[in-house]
Amino acid sequence: YRDYDPIPFWELIHFYIRSGNIGGIISFVGLAGLVSLPVWRVFLTGVLFIKQKERGLAVIAFIVFTLLVVSFLLG
C-alpha cells in the first residue's frame, strides 16, 4: 500500500449499493447515526429550553447546534 487513492464518500456509497454490499451500507448508516446523536441531543435540548421558557439557555444551545452543524459541513 504505497499509494493512497482517496474515493469520494458518495462514490463509495453508490458502489456499495450497486454491488449489493449490505455490510458496508449498514456500517455507514451506523456511523452516521453515531455521529448525529450529539447533534440531535443539542437540538432537542434547545427545544426543551424553549418549552421551559429558558431563553438564555436555548440561545446557547442553538449556538452550539449551529457550530456543530457548521463544523460537520466544513469537515
Mean pLDDT, 10 residues at a time, over the chain (75 residues)?
A: 81 88 88 90 96 95 94 85
pLDDT at position 1, please?
A: 63
Q: Are 51 and 21 in contact (CB under 8 A)?
A: no
Give the dihedral sign, CA 44/50/53/59. Answer: positive
User: pTM for the complete prediction?
Assistant: 0.67
pLDDT at position 51, please?
A: 96
pLDDT at position 48, please?
A: 96
